[in-house]
């Protein structure tokens, strides 16, 4: 199967220009403020060209593009507490992710996880598109504490098409970016959507660390009460853990032991239950989309599928039946 074209226009990212520089040390220092300290070893430069970075930060996720003034070798060492996705808008790179060597180009990219060594050589015409996802965002939205992803991103995988489409949509909409930077609720939902679409499309496995301490069920009940009260808000695992008065890792372990589900699964169930209650007492002017959004669902298709799976009917069916009963 042919790779999915990366429909991200470089020009759309230029409005987020973070820096331009012809000095290698300045370039290294500016990139390090966004990613991490690293070494740059320049090759042949392109006369009249400057290194640059375009950069947007949304909550615990960032994206942008990066180009050098010519061919460049990079040695980043071990990636810190974040996941780094690198795709190519133009040109190519010969890189190593841990012990695995691969090419970044039009047909594939890479994802590098925490504590994994990364380095490589980027061609003089290479413009990288990068996505940085903090480790805590993966934990907050998926419940996975130790997640290892397949390092090579095969752009021909149809499972990745929704993730790529959302990236294209986000990068082409400065209005959405501006709204997310003003409203944390929007930023968290965009972050959650991109994280879950990536995990749905990219092979991965988790390694969960056993905990030595076990909480009393009372603490789990405290978390459940908080979820019940705030389910329709943009909750994350750290929010729930703070309300329960425990670290995130301990909260996850306690839920697995006493409830057999993750806190975020409970949030999803509470939102679906709340949406059904609202649909069953909706007014003539209420719409399914408005109710879904008010209950914390941003992706209406996923909401409809989850609702149908739980109740055996669509949200529209429930709303229609409610109106026919005169509720």
Give me the residue spans of the domains in the chain: 10-204, 217-324
- Read out DSSP for 126-177? -EEEEEEEEHHHHHHHH--SSEEE-SEEETT-GGGHHHHHHHHHHHT-HHHH
DSSP H or E stretch at residue 302: helix 300-311
Instruction: Give the relative orientation of helices 237-244 and 135-142 as an angle to the nearest 10 degrees.
Output: 80
pLDDT at 162: 93
The one-character DSSP state at 210 is P
- The closest of 131, 45, 42, 55 to 87, measured between CA atoms, is 131
Which one is predicted more confidently, 139 or 28?
A: 28
pLDDT grade for 209, boundaries at 50, 70 and 90: very low
Least confident of 64-73, 165-174, 181-190, 216-225: 216-225
Contacts 24+ apart (CB under 8 A), 272-277: 272/306, 272/307, 272/310, 274/231, 274/232, 275/303, 275/307, 275/315, 276/307, 276/311, 276/318
* pLDDT tens-digit map of 89-143: 999 999 999 999 999 999 999 999 999 999 999 999 999 999 999 998 888 787 7
CATH level 3 topology of 217-324 = Arc Repressor Mutant, subunit A (1.10.10)
- The closest of 82, 76, 202 to 132, measured between CA atoms, is 82
* pLDDT tens-digit map of 224-272: 989 988 999 888 999 999 999 899 988 888 888 777 788 998 999 999 9
* pLDDT tens-digit map of 132-173: 999 988 887 877 777 889 999 999 989 999 999 999 999 999
Cα angle 156, 159, 161; round to 5: 70
C-alpha 261: how far from its chain's center? Answer: 22
CATH level 3 topology of 10-204 = Jelly Rolls (2.60.120)
pLDDT at 257: 79
* pLDDT tens-digit map of 2-25: 455 578 889 999 999 999 999 999
Q: In the predicted model, what is the mean pLDDT of residues 184-208?
A: 86
Least confident of 60-64, 211-215, 281-285, 313-317: 211-215
Q: In the predicted model, what is the mean pLDDT of residues 174-201?
A: 92
The one-character DSSP state at 2 is P
């Amino acid at each position: 199967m042919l790779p999915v074209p990366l429909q991200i226009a470089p020009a759309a990212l230029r409005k987020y220009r973070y820096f331009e520089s012809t000095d290698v040390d300045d370039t290294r220092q500016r990139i390090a403020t966004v990613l991490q300290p690293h070494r740059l070893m320049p090759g042949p430069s392109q006369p009249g060209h400057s290194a640059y970075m375009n950069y947007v930060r949304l909550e615990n996720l960032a994206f942008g593009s990066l180009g050098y003034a010519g061919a460049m070798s990079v040695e980043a060492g071990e990636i810190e507490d974040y996941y780094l996705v690198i795709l190519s808008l133009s040109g190519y790179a010969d890189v190593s992710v841990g012990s695995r060597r691969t090419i970044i180009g039009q047909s594939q990219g890479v994802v590098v996880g925490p504590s994994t060594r990364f380095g490589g050589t980027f061609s003089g015409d290479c413009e990288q598109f990068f996505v940085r996802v903090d480790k805590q965002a993966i934990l907050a939205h998926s419940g996975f504490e130790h997640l290892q992803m397949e390092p090579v991103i095969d752009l021909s995988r149809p499972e990745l098409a929704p993730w790529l489409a959302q990236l294209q949509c986000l990068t082409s909409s400065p209005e959405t970016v501006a709204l997310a930077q003003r409203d944390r609720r929007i930023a968290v939902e965009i972050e959650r959507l991109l994280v879950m679409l990536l995990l749905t499309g990219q092979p991965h496995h988790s390694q969960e660390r056993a905990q030595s301490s076990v909480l009393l069920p009372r603490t789990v009940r405290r978390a459940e009460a908080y979820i019940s009260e705030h389910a329709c808000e943009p909750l994350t695992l750290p929010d729930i853990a703070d309300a329960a008065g425990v670290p995130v890792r301990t909260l996850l372990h306690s839920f697995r032991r006493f409830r057999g589900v993750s806190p975020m699964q409970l949030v999803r169930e509470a939102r679906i239950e709340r949406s059904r209650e609202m649909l069953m007492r909706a007014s003539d002017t209420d719409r399914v989309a408005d109710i879904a959004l008010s209950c914390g669902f941003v992706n209406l298709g996923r909401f409809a599928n989850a609702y149908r799976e739980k109740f055996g009917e669509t949200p529209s069916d429930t709303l229609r039946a409610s109106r026919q009963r005169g509720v």
